[in-house]
Amino acid sequence: MRKNKQAILFDFWQTLFVDSKERETLGERKALIRGFLTERGHNGEIDIGGAFEKIAPRFWQVYTTEQRTPLVLERLTWLMEELGIELEDGDLEELAFEFGNLGILLNPLPTENAVQIVSELSTRYPLGIVSDTGFTPGRVLRQHMERHGMLRYFTAFSFSDETGHAKPHRRQFENALELLEVAPSNAIHCGDLPTQDIRGAAALGMTTVLYVGCHQDEPGELVPDYTISDWRELPAIVAEVFG
């Protein structure tokens, strides 16, 4: 790593982008599953919504204890087990791919002033994404970034479905830092969750910025170095930290 190189990392959800269509998209995903199963002869009463509710604790257990986000294929495997339905491996993989692709329907919008500030900062510093993913994989999140003209400003990506780790695991941050060839002490991380973003970045010695433009969680003992509600506040912080 280059000792003097500096970089800025960002979370995706509720940081650079905000989503207002999660419920509608989940409804489309449930409809996809129902149609997929019907095509394969499963025509009885299938409580897909109830099965999703029952497997939800398994996701959170893995997320918190193993610090990774289970892949869509893994979660759909749980779902089929709950429904008592067996699918061939190829079928389940096809369903998982189509299920993930429906994340395009989320149509998240950039948070206020995000594109402007990211564009400005990218002329002076390399930028990276460090984001946990749920049902929507990193490949689809890149499409959203491209759609809003933001993808071109980033040169490193650490999406949890691709890295096998989730924040606050150190590797989730280190993946991006290594791609950027930047030491943690020369990096700033911006995110919205104290327990994931602030905890993980601070443990590596990064400067932490808590973004509260979408919501504000109580930080408790996880106090960030800076807190902002408007991205226009970030350039002054960067100038102060990097000099």
Helix (H) / strand (E) containing 56: helix 48-65
CATH assignment at residue 116: 3.40.50.1000
- Dihedral angle, C-alpha 189, 167, 13, 149, nearest 10 °: 60
- Do 71 and 93 lie in a common domain? yes
CB atoms within 10 A of CB 243: 6
pLDDT, tens digit (0-9, with 9 covering 90-100), for 111-160: 999 999 999 999 999 999 999 999 999 999 999 999 999 999 999 999 99
- Do 30 and 124 lie in a common domain? no
- Do 162 and 50 lie in a common domain? no
Of the residues 47, 80, 105, the one at which a domain ends: 105
In this prediction, residue 2 carries a pLDDT of 52
Output the tens digit of pLDDT for each of the chain's 243 residues: 555 699 999 999 999 999 879 999 999 999 999 999 999 998 778 999 999 999 999 999 999 999 999 999 999 999 999 999 999 889 999 999 999 999 999 999 999 999 999 999 999 999 999 999 999 999 999 999 999 999 999 999 999 999 999 999 999 999 999 999 999 999 999 999 999 999 999 999 999 999 999 988 776 788 999 999 999 999 999 999 998
- Do 81 and 175 lie in a common domain? no
Domain annotation covers residue 2: no
In this prediction, residue 52 carries a pLDDT of 96
State the burial class of residue 4 (Cβ atoms within 10 Å of its Cβ: 0-12, 13-18, 19+).
Answer: exposed
- Do 196 and 223 lie in a common domain? yes
In this prediction, residue 9 carries a pLDDT of 98
Dump strand ranges (E) for the chain. 7-10, 17-18, 109-110, 127-131, 156-159, 187-191, 207-211, 226-228
CA–CA distance, 149 with 142 (Å, rounded to integer): 10
- Do 159 and 224 lie in a common domain? yes
Domain annotation covers residue 26: yes
- Do 233 and 118 lie in a common domain? yes
Structure tokens at 220: 């408790």
Of the residues 105, 128, 152, the one at which a domain ends: 105
- Do 116 and 205 lie in a common domain? yes
In this prediction, residue 44 carries a pLDDT of 73
In this prediction, residue 80 carries a pLDDT of 96
- Do 99 and 112 lie in a common domain? no
Strands 156-159 and 127-131, how do they pair? parallel
State the burial class of residue 204 (Cβ atoms within 10 Å of its Cβ: 0-12, 13-18, 19+).
Answer: middle
In this prediction, residue 84 carries a pLDDT of 94
The residue type of 213 is G
Query: Do residues 6 and 182 make contact, with C-beta atoms less than 8 angstroms apart?
Result: yes
- How many domains, the chain? 2
Q: Where in the sequence is the domain holding 190, given as residue range(s)?
A: 7-19+108-242
- Do 11 and 119 lie in a common domain? yes
Of the residues 55, 83, 105, the one at which a domain ends: 105
Query: Do residues 191 and 10 make contact, with C-beta atoms less than 8 angstroms apart?
Result: yes
